[in-house]
Amino acid sequence: MSQTFVTIARYQYSSEAQIVKGRLEADGITVFLRDNITIDTDPLVSNAIGGVKLKVLAKDVTNAREILRSIKVYSLDDNGNAISCPNCNNQHVELYSTITDFKSFMSFLIGFLFGTLPFSTRYQYKCEDCKTEFPVK
């Protein structure tokens, strides 16, 4: 039973899944990606086959979910301060994007890696707690 793999997340692109995989493995969790080779070969099939599946051993599921939560990227303003929700003032604000193609995903990824997220009208903030959505300034 403990050798059973459970899918805990799906990613549209394998590069995204690889980042998360690296983070989980740093904590000693065995990670198995499914369909990433197929999607690397042809990113357009990603939606059709349900994305890259990130799987962990059944015994690691709780742990892995905890880590996934902790590495969620919360949004920062230009000065590196956390964005607060205008409704409840919580700082668990995510950049909610309408990333739908590979090009916008890559610019997101580069922004993520270098700390300069490209803000545009294609993005909105969303408060994780009260679900308020508000525009990027």
Query: Which residues are near Zn ion by CB under 5 A?
Result: 85, 87-88, 90, 127, 129-130, 132
Least distance (Å) from Zn ion to the CB of residue 118? 24
d(CA 137, CA 134): 9
Neighbours of 95 (CB within 10 A): 20
CB-nearer residue toward Zn ion: 24 or 127: 127
Partner residues linked to 56 by β-bridges: 6, 31
CB of 84 to Zn ion, least distance (A): 8
**Closest CB to Zn ion among 90 and 104?**
90
Q: Which is nearer to Zn ion, 38 or 91 (CB)?
A: 91
Sheet of 123-127: strand order equals 93-97, 123-127, 133-135
Cβ at position 86, least distance to Zn ion in Å: 8
Q: In what order do the strands lie in the sheet with 52-57?
A: 5-11, 52-57, 31-34
Q: Which is nearer to Zn ion, 45 or 130 (CB)?
A: 130
